[in-house]
Structure 1
Amino acid sequence: MPNLNIGLVGASFVAADRMMPMFAPNGFEVSALFDTDEQRFPLWAEHQIPMVSDDLDAVLGSDIDAVYISSRNEQHAPQALAAAAAGKHILLEKPMALTMADARAVVDAAYRNGVKLAVNHHLPGGPVHSTVRRLVDEGRIGRLYSARINHAVALPQKVREWRLAPVPGGGVILDITVHDASVLNPLFGTMPLRVSALGVSQAPWNVHRTMDSVMTTIEYAAGDGLPKLAQTHEAFGVPFPGTSMEVHGEDGAIVVHDAMTPTIEGTVTWHKPDGSVEDIPTGAGEDLYSINLRRFRDFISDEGTPTVTSDEGLLALAVALAAERSIGEARTIPLEEM
């Protein structure tokens, strides 16, 4: 099968460090690069991309089959709309947009123009979270009660500036909470009903004093007769002990260490109904971004589904935006309002 030509919309850190090494092994040739800031282009010289431009229309008018959009968050929706209008398949970084209306407009545009749209949440398709969902589905912990995610990390120096700047799309919620929702939603398998959240500024280096630590509580619908709860902690100023996840059931639990990072192979432990504990192999090894690209390629070729569909991306965004609204309005937000 010949390679597909893909254009990069956004000369971003994630595109350079995470995605570039994975394009060729998964059947993509990077043919074009767009960014609004020409000063970024010299940093990409080693990749020898044939077309480098600050003209999005020129890139979308070139001979590319798809785009990977990893620009700043507020640019995701308008650039995705332009790509759909140009007939290009879209792999869109999270968050899909800054509002549900804009995100739904992107989904509608992709449908109208007959292009494939996937969201680049890397965690749900990885072997660790696939293993956790399998154990729950097999009834290893009985009826599912709750889950708790610790996604409090130390944000690397080189990416601190814009993530916490007081600009549209900045902050820990649209960077991390949306990721956690992408994991929790398929785990529970029912609709999130309401979200409560609190957020503060803690990191001493966060000169903008924007929110860098958030805790949320999410209620999920009772698919088996039992209402369910999830709890998350996302932060940018916590260096230890690493990310983790617990899943609690009527008869046992699942504990995951290094659960929420793409570069560490997490471990899964099953706490059995008899009180014993068993380590569960996950088959971890393949880079999570490689998994996403392989599945995106299959999706484009009508041979599979993406790691995260547009509808799943919409639901993760709805949870994150509900958390933002909960903090801003000091109340629990029903998802039906989103």
Structure 2
Amino acid sequence: MTKTETANMRNIRWGLIGATFIARDWMIPAFRNTGGTIASILSSSPERAADFAKASDIPLGTTNLDTLLGGDIDAVYISTTNELHVPQALAAIKAGKHVLCEKPLAVDFAGAREMVEAAATAGLVFATNHHLRNSGAHRAMREAITSGRIGRPLFAKVAHARYLPEFLQGWRLTNPEKGAGVILDITTHDVDSLRHILGENPKSVLCMTQTGTLASGAIEDGAMSLIEFDSGLVAQTHDAFTTKFASTSLEIHGTEGSLIGTDCMTQDPIGEVVLRTAEGEETLSIDRTNLYERSLRAFGRAVAGIGEPSASGVDGLWSLATGLAAVESGRSGQRVAVYI
């Protein structure tokens, strides 16, 4: 972290709502590496709260949200199952706490909009934990497009299919009330990445889905979507919980060149981006900063009144609205408009 970054961000005392793997494996190291302090952790299980707090050296483990919110904290990080985000975020906002919430923000758009608007009314920072827009590969693509290096973008293609690890194969495959399915889990990330790189919003989506390889009932465990953006650009996304040997990629093709990103839809700061034009091929320079640490530094600056979080609540609304439209399209077979 540079001296300028340190001077322009606020060290935050965090309460963690959700004793989850992403909190343990990714966020806690990022909080501590950016100067944050973790004061408390909430779980629905007393045993899990106590064990998680002990293992992660957190002073307080609790099952009571009021206890967590009544402590000496500035902000909360919410990583519980999706149907709990709205009531937990609204309680945090009422208590005067800034919010960093996992995506999707909710299982319905109205609830998501309510908490984003509540934070705005209260003058609090509300951010969506869309980590991929902090990827150096994605940032390099955005810069190349902004500087006109591929001309006018025409098409995009995202390959984000993977195999869902066994320890995550619970509600994501079985419980629609919690937001199960690959679309709300992964396609929302694709949408946010494309919005960030392209600098424009989705207009409509047409989606086809698969189910039954891992998921039960009508829950989709694979999906391909065609997303039309405001400029007329068309993006294809491939998302799955069922492909054990697939790699990730993101391509943008324009009138004067193409950007080919490989291994870039991942939590790790890896991947490569090649720019192809009439002059030949160029491998772009990529910043390898940890994605979550970059996000938390932006959040800290926003809390200090300097700039915006890397992904705002409105960004989360766009990805959720597009994801819900894709779910509807997959069920109806029709193109569905996207708006917030």
Report the TM-score, using the length of structure 1 for normalisation. 0.93
Paired AA for residue 108 in structure 2 = T
> CA offset at residue 209 of structure 1?
6.7
> CA offset at residue 328 of structure 1?
2.0
Q: Find the aligned partners of 2:92 and 2:329 in 1 and give their Cα distance.
A: 33
Give per-residue Cα distances to partners, 1:142-174, cap 9 Å, x unaligned.
Answer: 111010000001111211112212232111111
User: 1:6 is matched with which residue?
Assistant: 14
Q: Find the aligned partners of 2:338 and 2:56 in 1 and give their Cα distance.
A: 43
Decide whether the 8 Å contact of 1:198 with 1:327 is kept in 2: yes
Decide whether the 8 Å contact of 1:27 with 1:297 is kept in 2: no
Q: Find the aligned partners of 1:198 and 1:182 in 2 and give their Cα distance.
A: 20
User: 1:32 is matched with which residue?
Assistant: 40
User: 1:147 is matched with which residue?
Assistant: 156
Give per-residue Cα distances to partners, 1:210-257, cap 9 Å, x unaligned.
Answer: 3110111111112xxxx2101100001112231001110112111000
Q: How many residues align?
A: 330
- In the alignment, structure 1 residue 331 sits paired with structure 2 residue 339: no
> SS of the residue aligned with 2:176?
coil
Which of 252, 255, 262 in structure 1 is aligned with 2:257? 252
Decide whether the 8 Å contact of 1:9 with 1:70 is kept in 2: yes
- In the alignment, structure 1 residue 58 sits paired with structure 2 residue 63: no
> SS of the residue aligned with 2:159?
strand
> CA offset at residue 52 of structure 1?
1.0
Which of 166, 184, 209 in structure 2 is aligned with 1:174? 184
Paired AA for residue 72 in structure 1 = T
Paired AA for residue 234 in structure 2 = L
Decide whether the 8 Å contact of 1:141 with 1:273 is kept in 2: no
Unpaired segments of 5 or more residues in structure 1? Answer: none
> CA offset at residue 264 of structure 1?
4.8
> CA offset at residue 9 of structure 1?
0.4
Q: 1:256 to 1:164 in 2, by over 3 A?
A: same
> SS of the residue aligned with 2:133?
coil
Within 5 Å, which residues of 2 pair with 1:226-241?
A: 227-241=232-246
- In the alignment, structure 1 residue 310 sits paired with structure 2 residue 285: no
Decide whether the 8 Å contact of 1:202 with 1:237 is kept in 2: no
Give per-residue Cα distances to partners, 1:290-335, cap 9 Å, x unaligned.
Answer: 1111111111111232110111111111111110111122211011
Q: Find the aligned partners of 2:21 and 2:146 in 1 and give their Cα distance.
A: 36
Report the TM-score, using the length of structure 2 for normalisation. 0.93
Paired AA for residue 54 in structure 1 = T
> CA offset at residue 95 of structure 1?
0.7
> SS of the residue aligned with 1:18?
helix
- In the alignment, structure 1 residue 86 sits paired with structure 2 residue 95: yes
> SS of the residue aligned with 1:63?
coil
User: 2:4 is matched with which residue?
Assistant: none
> CA offset at residue 283 of structure 1?
2.1
- In the alignment, structure 1 residue 295 sits paired with structure 2 residue 298: yes
Identity %: 38
Detail structure 1 runs of 4+ shifted over 6 Å in the superposition: none
User: 1:242 is matched with which residue?
Assistant: 247
> SS of the residue aligned with 1:90?
strand
Q: Find the aligned partners of 2:218 and 2:47 in 1 and give their Cα distance.
A: 28
> SS of the residue aligned with 1:268?
strand
Q: Find the aligned partners of 1:86 and 1:283 in 2 and give their Cα distance.
A: 37
Decide whether the 8 Å contact of 1:326 with 1:332 is kept in 2: yes
User: 1:277 is matched with which residue?
Assistant: 281
> CA offset at residue 120 of structure 1?
0.5
> CA offset at residue 186 of structure 1?
2.3
Q: Find the aligned partners of 1:180 and 1:293 in 2 and give their Cα distance.
A: 21
Q: Find the aligned partners of 1:239 and 1:51 in 2 and give their Cα distance.
A: 39
Q: Find the aligned partners of 2:216 and 2:205 in 1 and give their Cα distance.
A: 28
Decide whether the 8 Å contact of 1:269 with 1:279 is kept in 2: yes
Two-structure CA RMSD over aligned residues (Å): 1.6
